[in-house]
Structure formats: structure tokens, C-alpha cells
Amino acid sequence: MAKFLPYVLKSLWRHRARSVLTVSGTAIALLVFCFIGSVQQGLSALTSDAAADRTLIVFQENRFCPQSSRLPQDYERTISQLPGVRDVVPIKVFTNNCRASLDAIVFQGMPAAQLKSARDLELTSGDWAAFDQQDDAALVGQDVAARRGLAAGDKFTIGDVSVVVRGVFRSPTAAENSLIYTHLDFLQRARGASDVGTVTQLEVHLTDSADPDAVSKQIDQEFRAGPVGTTTRTKGMFQADTLGDLAELIGFVHWLGYACVGLVLSLVATTTVMSVQDRIKEHAVLQTLGLRPLRVFRLVIVESFVLSTLGGLLGVAGSTAILALTGMSVAAEGVTIAFEPSLALAMQGVAVAVVVGILAGLAPGWQASRTEIVSALRHA
């Protein structure tokens, strides 16, 4: 059928306004499909990471927003002595918005030495020495830096917190690229002396042989009668619970992805039917010249395939470029979901466009191949 491709392209160009509109509509639908897929991938990566099952988050009991959780920092010493505990990292969290937001700023204050060991950060600009030596220094994730136009040396203020950017980092964990790390003691003092000695949460790293459920129960039991009760869960479960309402919304939006596929199918099929109706006599002439009905059927399928695939490629390329350049994310209660573009998602989008293009051409192709030559030649 490759030799008929020039004929198909000429046919599409003959009605270029209709073809351009169809390709544009398909591209937009596939762009939305990929956006939905990227946020679903980000949520899945955040809640099902294997490392998250070996890490516990200790939070104040019956608290949700980071600003409301205030644990005594000295809980760290007690937890570090429990069997199965390898390390305990105190973390102070500040966010400008606890509700779901596409531009939430999330600060995490940690001791500098533990930040280096607990997080896999690669500095793309700046240096660790400058961060270590300055109290109000910050390391900014590359996605936040891209959205806010930040670079090493800039001063950044949000709410009551002002920091000097001493480095921009890249992390293999996409969600961390939307975080800002500072010194723990700085973030404790930044919003008032009453925060000194308290942390938002304690991140507990377990040994390979430890039972996460058993250690969680032991921690909560240890502080049950203490000044502040705790709720301890694995990091994956903590993030899933924190994002519960948002995850339900994302699950509902999943159906919008299917609606986009249906829209592409309807759009391409309608365009192909109109094209077949416009060329009834033309197809009859082709059959008169010896083109078999099966070839006419394939010809229509190729036309539908070209329209859908071209639109799909544009939509996938556009979504990948937008997601890669903007570093979009959505955050709720201090937990961030990154919109993750990936090769697998891009291939899925192209595959959807190809399959939909073939399916959309089946009915019009069958109609064109079954046309009677005499009646078609009489068609006005």
C-alpha cells in the first residue's frame, strides 16, 4: 500500500481545512490523554515505591496539614534506640497551601548531614559548601526553579519564609524536584521561636530485617502516654492516605482519558466518512481500472490511519515537551505528585492513535469497498 500513500496524501490535501481540523482535534485529545496518564504515573510512583515500604513516617496523631503537626524533636533519640531502626531524620515542613494546588511551595527543613545521606540529590548548579555555611540557604528542586525562574544566588520569599538559593538539584524521584530543602533549625526559627524544638514529622529508616508494622506499633505505643501522641505508617501508606481525596479525583479523571479516546474515534471516523462520500465516483473509477474492493478498503483505512497517527504524534510530542519544560506538579497537605512524562506513556499515546485510526476507518472502508460501480458512476 506504500505506493498509494501519495494518492492518500493528495486526497487529504484536497480538503486541507477539514484534514487540519481533524488532526488538530486529535492532537488536543491525545495531549489531554497524556496529561492524565502522567499524573496517574506520578501518583503510582509516589505510593508504590519499594523504598517507601522500608521507611516509616511518624506524624502527630489526628493531624493532617503539616502546619498542625508538632512533634517534640527529642522523640528522635527514643526512636533511634528501638530495634530495627537504622536512622531517624527529623523534618520540619512548611507549605504555602495545604489544599490541592498546582503551584504549592513545599519546604522541608532537615539537618544538612542527614539531607545528604537520606536524599539522592544531584546539584545542577551551586554547591553543597555554600549551603552548609549559610543558615538561610536553600536547595531548590529543578521543577520549582523552572516555574519560579530561580537560580543559584537568588533570594526567594514565600509567606514568612525567605531563603537564598544556594543550589538547584535534580532527583531521580520526580516528586522531589518540586521541593525546597533548608536547614532544620532555620525553618524552626523562620516562623517564630515557638517552633524551636519541634518538628513536623520523623522519617524512620529501617534495617533490612525489620518488620515495618511491628516497629510502627512499637513507636506509637512508646508515645501513647507521652505529651504528644503519634501515628506511624510506612511512607507509601502515609502519602496514599494524605492524598486520599486527590487520588479519588485522579481516579475519576481516568475516565476522561477514555472519553478522549472516544472523541478521537468519533472525530476521525466522521472525517473519513465525509471523505468517502465525497469520492464515491472516484472509488468507482478506481475499481473500473482494476482496483479490487479489498484495495479500496485498505486505501480508506490508510487515510484514516494517517489522520489519527499524525494527530497522535503531535499531541504526544506537545504533551511531552510541555511536561518536560514546565515541571508541573500538584500538591496537597505538603505531599507533591509530579506529572511524569515517560517513553512508555508516549508509546501508549501513539499506540492509541494508531489503533483508533484503524478502527475509525473500518466502517467507511467497508462502505467504499461495497459500492456498486454503475450506481456510483451515476452519482452526482
pLDDT, residue 380, reads 46
Q: Mean pLDDT: which of 46-60, 218-232, 337-351 is highest? A: 218-232
Report the pLDDT averaged over residues 340-367: 86
How many domains are there within the chain? Answer: 2
pLDDT band at 366 (very low <50, low <70, confident <90, very high): confident
Q: pLDDT at residue 164 above 60?
A: yes
One domain, residues 221 and 101: yes
What would the pLDDT profile of 269-286 be if each residue is shown by its tens digit?
888 777 666 565 555 556
Instruction: With cut-offs at 50, 70 and 90, classify the pLDDT of residue 20.
Output: confident
Q: 180, 200, 228 — which closes off a domain?
A: 228
**205 shares a domain with 104:** yes
Query: Looking at residues 96-116, what average pLDDT do you find?
Result: 82
Q: Report the percentage of the chain scoring pLDDT > 90.
A: 30
**Cα separation, 145 vs 163, whole angstroms:** 13
- List, for residues 239-263, the tens digit of each pLDDT value: 777 766 666 777 777 788 888 888 8
| 252 and 188 assigned to the same domain | no
Tens of pLDDT, residues 131-143 = 999 999 999 999 8
Which residues, in sequence order, are CB contacts of 158 under 8 Å at separation 6+?
A: 96, 105
289 and 208 in one domain? Answer: no
Shared domain for 118 and 183, answered yes or no, is yes
Q: What is the pLDDT of residue 202?
A: 93
The CA–CA distances, whole Å, from 212 to 53, 98, 233, 256 equal: 8, 28, 8, 37
What is the pLDDT confidence band of residue 65, given thresholds at 50, 70 and 90?
A: confident
Strand partners, 202: 58, 90
Of residues 294 and 311, more confidently modeled: 311
236 found inside a domain = no
Give the list of residues 6+ apart from residue 144 with CB closer than 8 angstroms, or none: 105, 150, 177, 178, 179, 180, 327
User: Are 36 and 67 contained in the same domain?
Assistant: no
Residue 53 within a domain: no
